[in-house]
Protein backbone atom coordinates (compact mmCIF):
# COMPACT_ATOMS: atom_id res chain seq x y z
CA UNK A 1 0.00 0.00 0.00
CA UNK A 2 1.04 3.61 -0.58
CA UNK A 3 0.89 6.40 1.94
CA UNK A 4 -2.47 7.73 0.74
CA UNK A 5 -5.05 8.17 3.46
CA UNK A 6 -7.91 8.80 1.02
CA UNK A 7 -7.97 7.46 -2.53
CA UNK A 8 -10.67 7.78 -5.19
CA UNK A 9 -10.24 5.70 -8.36
CA UNK A 10 -12.58 6.19 -11.36
CA UNK A 11 -15.51 7.00 -9.08
CA UNK A 12 -18.97 7.53 -10.54
CA UNK A 13 -22.09 8.39 -8.56
CA UNK A 14 -25.44 8.14 -10.34
CA UNK A 15 -28.79 8.82 -8.72
CA UNK A 16 -32.15 7.33 -9.74
CA UNK A 17 -33.31 8.95 -12.92
CA UNK A 18 -29.81 8.92 -14.39
CA UNK A 19 -28.39 12.10 -12.82
CA UNK A 20 -24.59 11.78 -12.55
CA UNK A 21 -23.29 13.68 -9.51
CA UNK A 22 -19.70 12.47 -10.00
CA UNK A 23 -18.03 11.25 -13.19
CA UNK A 24 -14.70 9.40 -13.37
CA UNK A 25 -13.24 11.12 -10.29
CA UNK A 26 -9.73 10.03 -9.27
CA UNK A 27 -7.48 11.69 -6.68
CA UNK A 28 -5.61 10.88 -3.49
CA UNK A 29 -4.96 12.69 -0.22
CA UNK A 30 -1.93 12.01 1.96
CA UNK A 31 -2.01 12.08 5.77
CA UNK A 32 -1.75 15.61 7.13
CA UNK A 33 -2.89 17.41 3.98
CA UNK A 34 -5.40 20.27 3.96
CA UNK A 35 -7.54 20.14 0.82
CA UNK A 36 -10.31 22.46 -0.34
CA UNK A 37 -12.99 21.10 -2.71
CA UNK A 38 -14.48 23.88 -4.84
CA UNK A 39 -16.93 24.23 -7.69
CA UNK A 40 -20.31 25.71 -8.60
CA UNK A 41 -23.50 24.81 -6.75
CA UNK A 42 -24.43 21.27 -7.80
CA UNK A 43 -20.88 20.44 -8.94
CA UNK A 44 -20.75 17.35 -6.69
CA UNK A 45 -18.84 18.70 -3.68
CA UNK A 46 -21.22 17.40 -1.01
CA UNK A 47 -21.55 14.03 -2.77
CA UNK A 48 -17.77 13.61 -2.82
CA UNK A 49 -17.50 14.25 0.93
CA UNK A 50 -20.45 11.97 1.71
CA UNK A 51 -18.76 9.12 -0.16
CA UNK A 52 -15.78 9.40 2.20
CA UNK A 53 -18.10 9.18 5.22
CA UNK A 54 -20.11 6.27 3.71
CA UNK A 55 -23.22 8.46 3.82
CA UNK A 56 -23.46 7.68 0.09
CA UNK A 57 -21.96 4.82 -1.92
CA UNK A 58 -20.23 5.02 -5.28
CA UNK A 59 -22.08 3.55 -8.26
CA UNK A 60 -18.74 2.36 -9.61
CA UNK A 61 -15.05 2.85 -8.87
CA UNK A 62 -13.39 2.61 -5.47
CA UNK A 63 -13.18 4.90 -2.42
CA UNK A 64 -10.41 3.82 -0.07
CA UNK A 65 -9.88 5.22 3.43
CA UNK A 66 -6.57 4.03 4.91
CA UNK A 67 -6.65 1.16 2.42
CA UNK A 68 -10.21 0.10 3.30
CA UNK A 69 -12.81 0.10 0.51
CA UNK A 70 -15.64 2.19 1.97
CA UNK A 71 -18.09 1.21 -0.78
CA UNK A 72 -17.95 -2.45 0.21
CA UNK A 73 -18.36 -1.89 3.95
CA UNK A 74 -21.25 -3.73 5.56
CA UNK A 75 -23.70 -1.55 7.46
CA UNK A 76 -22.50 -2.63 10.97
CA UNK A 77 -18.94 -1.55 10.08
CA UNK A 78 -19.86 2.00 9.09
CA UNK A 79 -19.99 3.44 12.65
CA UNK A 80 -16.44 2.16 13.22
CA UNK A 81 -15.27 3.99 10.09
CA UNK A 82 -16.98 7.20 11.23
CA UNK A 83 -15.17 7.13 14.57
CA UNK A 84 -12.01 7.93 12.59
CA UNK A 85 -13.75 10.87 10.95
CA UNK A 86 -14.87 14.25 12.22
CA UNK A 87 -17.91 15.34 10.22
CA UNK A 88 -19.34 18.85 9.90
CA UNK A 89 -22.27 18.61 7.49
CA UNK A 90 -25.04 21.14 6.97
CA UNK A 91 -27.74 18.56 7.66
CA UNK A 92 -26.17 17.31 10.91
CA UNK A 93 -28.54 18.87 13.36
CA UNK A 94 -27.63 19.92 16.86
CA UNK A 95 -29.85 18.74 19.72
CA UNK A 96 -31.67 21.94 20.64
CA UNK A 97 -33.16 20.54 23.85
CA UNK A 98 -29.68 19.69 25.23
CA UNK A 99 -26.83 21.89 26.40
CA UNK A 100 -23.69 22.58 24.38
CA UNK A 101 -21.86 20.23 26.74
CA UNK A 102 -24.40 17.43 26.15
CA UNK A 103 -24.16 17.89 22.37
CA UNK A 104 -20.39 17.41 22.45
CA UNK A 105 -20.65 14.51 24.91
CA UNK A 106 -23.01 12.56 22.65
CA UNK A 107 -20.41 10.89 20.35
CA UNK A 108 -18.44 9.74 23.40
CA UNK A 109 -21.53 8.39 25.16
CA UNK A 110 -22.48 6.47 22.01
CA UNK A 111 -19.02 4.88 21.83
CA UNK A 112 -19.11 3.89 25.51
CA UNK A 113 -16.43 6.14 27.00
CA UNK A 114 -16.38 6.33 30.83
CA UNK A 115 -18.31 9.44 31.90
CA UNK A 116 -15.43 11.14 33.72
CA UNK A 117 -13.05 10.80 30.77
CA UNK A 118 -15.79 11.77 28.29
CA UNK A 119 -16.62 14.92 30.27
CA UNK A 120 -12.95 15.91 30.35
CA UNK A 121 -12.63 15.44 26.59
CA UNK A 122 -15.90 17.26 25.89
CA UNK A 123 -14.74 20.28 27.91
CA UNK A 124 -11.35 20.21 26.16
CA UNK A 125 -13.11 20.25 22.76
CA UNK A 126 -15.36 23.12 23.84
CA UNK A 127 -12.28 24.99 25.07
CA UNK A 128 -10.53 24.48 21.70
CA UNK A 129 -13.39 26.21 19.88
CA UNK A 130 -13.79 28.95 22.50
CA UNK A 131 -17.10 27.79 23.93
CA UNK A 132 -16.15 26.46 27.36
CA UNK A 133 -17.90 29.38 29.05
CA UNK A 134 -21.11 28.51 27.14
CA UNK A 135 -21.19 24.79 27.99
CA UNK A 136 -24.52 25.08 29.84
CA UNK A 137 -26.20 27.07 27.05
CA UNK A 138 -28.61 25.38 24.67
CA UNK A 139 -27.76 25.80 20.96
CA UNK A 140 -30.79 28.07 20.46
CA UNK A 141 -29.07 30.64 22.70
CA UNK A 142 -25.90 30.60 20.55
CA UNK A 143 -25.18 32.74 17.49
CA UNK A 144 -24.79 31.14 14.06
CA UNK A 145 -21.00 31.25 14.37
CA UNK A 146 -21.13 29.74 17.84
CA UNK A 147 -23.42 26.95 16.63
CA UNK A 148 -20.92 26.17 13.87
CA UNK A 149 -18.10 26.08 16.42
CA UNK A 150 -20.21 23.73 18.54
CA UNK A 151 -20.56 21.41 15.51
CA UNK A 152 -16.77 21.46 15.15
CA UNK A 153 -16.27 20.63 18.84
CA UNK A 154 -18.63 17.67 18.44
CA UNK A 155 -16.75 16.59 15.30
CA UNK A 156 -13.30 16.62 16.94
CA UNK A 157 -14.15 15.22 20.39
CA UNK A 158 -13.39 11.66 19.19
CA UNK A 159 -9.91 12.85 18.08
CA UNK A 160 -10.39 11.88 14.43
CA UNK A 161 -7.49 11.67 11.99
CA UNK A 162 -9.69 13.03 9.16
CA UNK A 163 -11.87 16.13 9.50
CA UNK A 164 -14.49 16.76 6.79
CA UNK A 165 -16.55 19.95 6.51
CA UNK A 166 -19.24 20.73 3.92
CA UNK A 167 -19.57 24.49 3.33
CA UNK A 168 -18.80 25.29 7.00
CA UNK A 169 -18.78 29.05 6.42
CA UNK A 170 -21.74 29.28 4.03
CA UNK A 171 -24.06 31.30 6.29
CA UNK A 172 -21.44 33.23 8.27
CA UNK A 173 -20.13 36.77 7.93
CA UNK A 174 -16.50 37.36 6.95
CA UNK A 175 -15.09 37.65 10.47
CA UNK A 176 -16.76 34.46 11.71
CA UNK A 177 -15.91 32.64 8.48
CA UNK A 178 -12.21 33.49 8.84
CA UNK A 179 -12.25 32.30 12.46
CA UNK A 180 -13.85 28.97 11.49
CA UNK A 181 -11.33 28.35 8.69
CA UNK A 182 -8.46 29.27 11.05
CA UNK A 183 -9.83 26.69 13.47
CA UNK A 184 -9.66 23.98 10.81
CA UNK A 185 -6.16 25.16 9.97
CA UNK A 186 -5.09 24.77 13.60
CA UNK A 187 -6.33 21.15 13.64
CA UNK A 188 -4.43 20.52 10.41
CA UNK A 189 -1.25 21.96 11.94
CA UNK A 190 -1.30 19.24 14.61
CA UNK A 191 -1.57 16.49 12.00
CA UNK A 192 -5.29 16.12 11.25
CA UNK A 193 -6.10 15.62 7.56
CA UNK A 194 -8.71 18.24 6.60
CA UNK A 195 -11.09 18.37 3.63
CA UNK A 196 -13.36 21.39 3.25
CA UNK A 197 -15.89 22.05 0.49
CA UNK A 198 -16.53 25.71 -0.22
CA UNK A 199 -17.68 28.06 -2.95
CA UNK A 200 -15.86 30.94 -1.22
CA UNK A 201 -12.43 31.62 -2.69
CA UNK A 202 -11.35 33.98 0.12
CA UNK A 203 -9.85 31.28 2.38
CA UNK A 204 -8.16 29.73 -0.65
CA UNK A 205 -6.50 33.05 -1.50
CA UNK A 206 -5.58 33.51 2.17
CA UNK A 207 -4.15 30.03 2.88
CA UNK A 208 -3.08 28.75 -0.56
CA UNK A 209 -4.07 25.14 0.24
CA UNK A 210 -4.30 22.29 -2.24
CA UNK A 211 -7.52 22.67 -4.26
CA UNK A 212 -9.70 20.10 -6.05
CA UNK A 213 -12.12 21.81 -8.45
CA UNK A 214 -15.28 20.04 -9.59
CA UNK A 215 -17.19 21.04 -12.71
CA UNK A 216 -20.47 19.19 -13.32
CA UNK A 217 -19.24 16.15 -11.44
CA UNK A 218 -15.80 15.94 -13.03
CA UNK A 219 -12.47 17.11 -11.63
CA UNK A 220 -11.37 20.11 -13.66
Domain identity same for 19 and 50 = yes
Whole-number pLDDT of residue 1: 41
Q: Which of the four pLDDT bands, split at 50, 70 and 90, describes residue 155?
A: very high
The secondary structure element, H or E, covering residue 116 is: helix 115-128
**64-107 confidence digits (pLDDT tens):** 999 999 988 888 888 888 888 999 987 768 999 999 999 999 99
pLDDT mean over 192-204 = 91
Angle at alpha carbon of residue 78, lines to 34 and 48, rounded to 5°: 40
Q: Which of 139, 159, 179 is the last residue of a domain?
A: 159
Shared domain for 73 and 104, answered yes or no, is no
Looking at the fold, whether 9 and 69 belong to one and the same domain comes out as yes
Q: Are residues 44 and 71 in the same domain?
A: yes
Looking at every residue in the chain, the average pLDDT score rounds to 92
Note down the domain range covering 212.
Answer: 1-84+161-220
Task: Please report the sign of the dihedral spanned by the C-alpha atoms of residue 188, residue 194, residue 196, residue 202.
Answer: positive
Q: Are residues 39 and 142 in the same domain?
A: no
What's the domain count of the chain?
2
pLDDT in tens, 123-133: 999 999 999 99
Percent of the chain with pLDDT over 70: 98
Instruction: State the pTM of this model.
Output: 0.91
Domain stops at, among 159, 177, 199: 159
| Domain end residue (candidates: 119, 134, 159) | 159
Look at residue 2 and tell me whether its pLDDT is greater than 60: no
Tens of pLDDT, residue by residue over 140-154, are 999 988 999 999 999
H/E run at residue 106: helix 100-110
Co-location of 34 and 56 in the same domain: yes
Amino acid sequence: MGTDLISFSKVYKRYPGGYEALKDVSFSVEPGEMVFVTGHSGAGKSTLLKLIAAMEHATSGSVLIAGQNVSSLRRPAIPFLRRKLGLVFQDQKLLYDRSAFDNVMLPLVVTGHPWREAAKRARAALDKVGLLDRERANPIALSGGEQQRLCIARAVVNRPNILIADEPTGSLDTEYADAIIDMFRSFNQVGVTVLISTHDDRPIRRLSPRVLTLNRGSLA
